[in-house]
Amino acid sequence: MSASATATGPSLGAGTYLTFHLGDEEYGIDILRVREIIGMLPITRVPGAPSEMIGVINLRGKVIPVVSLRARFHLQATEAHPHNVIVVVEGPHSLLGFAVDRVREVASFVDADLEAPPTYGLDVDASYVRSIAKSQNRVRILLAIDRLLSPEAAALVAGLPG
């Protein structure tokens, strides 16, 4: 942790992020947690799974749970599109896939680009928003991967082989 982060509180997450779109909104996740980006694969539904968990995929012999960030953020479902991808990340218990509309870029942010999330006015639950990044006349919502799953989905993912 830098001296400035210690003096002013916890870091808001300066670093490099993979940014992606859900509809018109742009989000980012820590690039160091991203393992790969893959096209959509056949997804097997898991009976009784929370609505955000759309199922599991077989990725080179590993069972990877896939979460729809649209469903997690209570956004309206859309038609499948060729740009839809699964971003495979190192989750709190195992690899985890996030279904997103399309990947945008890899972007770096310094502390001056970041603000704490507001406690109101967000379309997503602020508990899993790490910070708000402002640069290049755009606003991006940086997410905390370890807090993205609902408690029900986190329990299910923790119990899957992997």
**Whole-number Å distance between alpha carbons of 25 and 85:** 16
**Domain tally, the chain:** 1
Mean pLDDT, to the nearest integer, of 98-127?
85
Q: How confident is the model at residue 118 (pLDDT cuts 50, 70, 90)?
A: confident
**Whole-number Å distance between alpha carbons of 129 and 114:** 12
Helix, strand, or coil (residue 145): helix
**In which domain, by residue range, is 44 found?**
3-159
**Whole-number Å distance between alpha carbons of 149 and 41:** 21
Q: How confident is the model at residue 108 (pLDDT cuts 50, 70, 90)?
A: very high
pTM equals 0.84
% residues pLDDT > 70 (the chain): 85
Helix, strand, or coil (residue 102): strand
Give me the pLDDT at residue 110, please.
94
Give me the pLDDT at residue 66, please.
95
**Whole-number Å distance between alpha carbons of 134 and 23:** 19
Contact assessment for residue 156 and residue 49, using Cβ atoms and an 8 Å cutoff: yes
Q: Can you give the CATH number for the domain in which 9 is found? A: 2.40.50.180
